């Protein structure tokens, strides 16, 4: 009989919500194509549009602004690979932002980052003062970092950028369902979302495009998604996304409990091993995310040891799990190499429990003691 495992890698992917599973199963029985005018097609279309409304409500947007994609990576690529002359972006962004920006041929301007991983609004203002950017220009700034959980001053910096004529994009994949989001209050033109981070299925996401914002079609060949992304919609996946968005909005109030669990976890980890480093502990962070470093022990070793003890965590972004070396996020923050190479990400979710925290702490204690005993030997 398998021992019960503890899942603490919610930033990589959240477990599928029961509401999303039920919505997907129901949608799989629908026959019609959402673009067909007959009754079967209209039923499928209704499911897509209901989900669009739910996703829009989660981020304070209009349903007409939501474009369904295959996930956050496609949404980020659709924006960053656009016809921009200049792109302002920080090195702490996800690779699905940095890679298309660098490949686009645009002039890249690096946004300054503090040692706690926060983009410095005052420095950004200085950077933009008197700058004569060739249009069109884009500023891309994540709402929350996927590795450290650090929240960014998007509204403030978006205001500065738009005064200079920039379009503004924010990758909100990790923030959605964990902190309240109001797209209009943020002042952004483009917002990226992903279903599987909030308990929906993998392989579906959205790009929210502010009404009036210019963005060329990124998949051509049909009239779907207001001619921005052609192709028959993935009705079942979209239904699951919509159900997950509804549940995530409902569960936002429970994030205070999750934050208390994270605080307990960090306090007990530090008590066991005082030389442990909580990266960006002083910054405003997502309530569920902790980046923990045990100097002297490689992150890969920690992840494997915890996995063998029945606890699932990760070393940096799941998309980069096959890479060897320090995180580009921690490097951009100026984290010491010895700390960066030892950093793991622990991320909780809406149904994480005190038992999950206790399981992690027990496993951590074993790993810490094992390392000390090896060092003495």
- The overall average pLDDT reported for the chain is 93
Note the pLDDT of residue 377. Answer: 44
Tens digit of each residue's pLDDT (9 = 90 or more) over 18-70: 999 999 999 999 999 999 999 999 999 999 999 999 999 999 999 999 999 99
Tens digit of each residue's pLDDT (9 = 90 or more) over 184-202: 999 999 999 999 999 999 9
Q: Residue 374 — pLDDT band, cuts 50, 70, 90? A: low
Contacts 24+ apart (CB under 8 A), 316-321: 316/147, 316/343, 316/345, 317/12, 317/94, 317/95, 317/146, 317/147, 318/9, 318/11, 318/12, 318/13, 319/73, 319/94, 319/95, 319/96, 320/95
- Window from 204-213, 293-302, 334-343 with minimum mean pLDDT: 293-302
Note the pLDDT of residue 129. Answer: 76
State the Cα–Cα distance between residues 101 and 78, nearest whole angstrom.
10
Q: Residue 375 — pLDDT band, cuts 50, 70, 90? A: very low
Phi, psi of 349 (to 5 degrees): -145, -175
Q: Is the pLDDT of residue 318 over 60?
A: no
Note the pLDDT of residue 344. Answer: 96
- Domains belonging to the chain, first-starting first, are 6-14+253-372 (3.90.1150.10), 18-251 (3.40.640.10)
Q: Residue 130 — pLDDT band, cuts 50, 70, 90? A: low
- Window from 24-28, 79-83, 114-118, 192-196 with minimum mean pLDDT: 79-83
The full DSSP string for 148-177 is T-BB--HHHHHHHHHHTT-EEEEE-TTTTT
Residue tagged active-site, from 155, 319, 358, 365: 319
State the number of CA atoms in the 13 A half-sphere of 93 facing the CB: 30
Q: Residue 134 — pLDDT band, cuts 50, 70, 90? A: confident
Known catalytic residue at 319? yes
Note the pLDDT of residue 321. Answer: 46
Q: Residue 371 — pLDDT band, cuts 50, 70, 90? A: low
Within a 10 A sphere around the Cβ of 115, how many other Cβ atoms?
11
Q: Is the pLDDT of residue 324 over 50?
A: no
Q: Is the pLDDT of residue 323 over 80?
A: no
- Window from 39-48, 128-137, 223-232 with minimum mean pLDDT: 128-137
The highest-confidence range among 160-174, 320-334, 363-377, by mean pLDDT, is: 160-174
State the Cα–Cα distance between residues 98 and 84, nearest whole angstrom.
14
Note the pLDDT of residue 319. Answer: 54
Helix (H/G/I), strand (E/B), else coil: 144: strand
- Please work out, in degrees rounded to the nearest 5, the angle formed at the alpha carbon of residue 130 by the alpha carbons of 93 and 162: 50
Phi, psi of 75 (to 5 degrees): -60, -45
Note the pLDDT of residue 369. Answer: 65
* DSSP class of 8: -
- Window from 119-133, 248-262, 355-369 with minimum mean pLDDT: 119-133
Note the pLDDT of residue 131. Answer: 63
H or E element at residue 52: helix 39-58
Note the pLDDT of residue 362. Answer: 95
Q: Is the pLDDT of residue 316 over 80?
A: no
Share above pLDDT 90 across residues of the chain, in percent, rounded to a whole number: 87
Q: What is the pTM of this model?
A: 0.94
């Amino acid at each position: 009989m398998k021992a019960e495992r503890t899942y603490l890698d919610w930033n990589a992917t959240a477990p599928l919500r029961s509401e999303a599973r039920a919505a997907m199963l129901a949608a799989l029985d629908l026959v019609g194509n959402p673009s067909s005018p007959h009754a079967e097609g209209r039923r499928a279309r209704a499911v897509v549009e209901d989900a669009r409304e739910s996703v829009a409500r989660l981020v304070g947007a209009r349903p007409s602004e939501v474009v369904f994609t295959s996930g956050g990576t496609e949404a980020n690529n659709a924006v960053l690979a656009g016809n921009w002359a200049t792109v302002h972006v920080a090195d702490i962004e996800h690779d699905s932002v940095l890679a298309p920006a660098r490949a686009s041929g645009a002039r890249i301007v690096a946004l300054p980052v503090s040692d706690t991983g926060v983009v410095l609004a005052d420095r950004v203002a200085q950077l933009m003062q008197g700058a004569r950017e060739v249009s069109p220009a884009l500023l891309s700034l994540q709402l929350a970092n996927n590795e450290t959980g650090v929240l960014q001053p998007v509204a403030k910096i978006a205001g500065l950028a738009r005064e200079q004529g920039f379009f503004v994009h924010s990758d909100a994949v990790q923030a959605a369902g964990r902190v309240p989001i109001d797209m209009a209050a943020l002042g952004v033109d483009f917002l990226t979302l992903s279903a599987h981070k909030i308990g929906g299925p993998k392989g579906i996401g959205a790009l929210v495009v502010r009404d009036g914002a210019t963005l060329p079609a990124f998949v051509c060949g049909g009239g779907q998604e207001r001619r921005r992304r052609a192709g028959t919609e993935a009705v079942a996946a979209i239904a699951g996304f919509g159900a997950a968005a509804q549940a995530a909005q409902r569960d936002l109030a429970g994030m205070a409990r999750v934050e208390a669990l994270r605080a307990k976890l960090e306090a007990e980890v530090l008590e066991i091993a005082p030389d442990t480093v909580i990266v960006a502990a002083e910054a405003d962070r997502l309530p569920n995310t902790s980046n923990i470093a045990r100097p002297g022990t490689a992150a890969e070793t920690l992840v494997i040891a915890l996995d063998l003890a029945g606890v699932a965590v990760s070393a940096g972004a799941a998309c980069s799990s096959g890479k060897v070396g320090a995180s580009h996020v921690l490097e951009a923050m100026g984290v010491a190499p010895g700390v960066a190479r030892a950093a793991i990400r622990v991320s909780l979710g809406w149904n994480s429990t005190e038992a999950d925290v206790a399981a992690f702490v027990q496993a951590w204690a074993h790993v810490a003691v094992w390392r000390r005993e090896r060092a003495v030997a």
